[in-house]
Amino acid sequence: MDNTLHIIAIWMHILGIALFVGPQFFLAVGWVAASRQITDMPTRIRAMRVVTRRFGYLGGVGLGLILVAGTYLIATWRDYYSYPDDAAFTGVPYGVIFIIKMNVLAVMLIVLAIHTFWAGPRLITAIEAEAEGTGTPARTRSARMVSMTLSIAGLALALAIMVMGAMMNTKNYSLS
Ligand code: HEM
């Protein structure tokens, strides 16, 4: 039974990662190029708002799945790997990598929050203002640079966390 639950949790964890990381690549590779084809600025801005909102929903659901499944996996690690109760968590690479992974996750969540609640809305406001004639191209460019830097940093941190997760499941570092 616990093996079945473990499989379900790993599946949920990976599904969450796909939903969280996949759209970040799609937005950078697909949407940025596609949005430039929309020459009518009010239409482009409306489409941008829809795409970024849906992107937020997908990423949010993904992150929720990752956190729920990850919490299950770490709460059951001792039983699942039949590890002695008195053995320290930090006495095995599995535990050390997990702690590093959680610290990197905390930094990633901070970067993500700054991007979602500050840099992203600020960029859309700057694009809108430029289209209405109250903003300047320089303001839009600076907002875009900040937003892009945060996006790339968040994605790089997510990819690094994935490496650590994969390490926890290899012969040298896992408990099996
Ligand atoms: C609350 C947050 C998280 C917790 C508690 C958590 C916990 C875990 C645990 C315990 C494992 C190892 C499972 C095993 O023993 O086989 C694991 C695997 C993994 N984690 Fe996480 N994790 C979290 C967040 C994340 C995030 C944010 C990512 C990536 C964006 C991630 C990516 C991975 C990957 C790729 C694996 C390997 C999956 C596999 O076995 O194929 N984790 N996680």
**Are the C-beta atoms of 21 and 158 separated by less than 8 Å?**
yes
What does pTM read for this prediction?
Answer: 0.92
Enclosing domain of residue 4: 1-75
**Residues in contact with ligand 1 (CB, 6 Å cut-off):** 10, 13-14, 17, 66-67, 70-71, 73-74, 77, 105, 158, 161-162, 165-166, 168-169
Same domain assignment for residues 45 and 97: no
Encoding tokens for residue 44? 């482009």
Residues 62 and 96 in one domain: no
Q: How far apart are CA 151 and CA 123, in angstroms?
A: 13
Q: Are residues 103 and 33 part of one domain? A: no
Boundary (domain end) residue, out of 18, 53, 75: 75
- Residue 93 contacts residue 173 (beta carbons within 8 Å): yes
Q: Would you give the DSSP letter of residue 91?
A: G
Q: Answer yes or no: is 98 within a domain.
A: yes
Q: How far is the CA of 70 from the centre of ligand 1 (A)?
A: 5
Number of compact structural domains in the chain: 2
169 in a domain, yes or no?
Answer: yes
Which tens digit of pLDDT belongs to each residue from 119-157? 999 999 999 999 999 999 999 999 999 999 999 999 999
Q: How far is the CA of 145 from the centre of ligand 1 (A)?
A: 31
pLDDT 10s digits, 115-129:
999 999 999 999 999
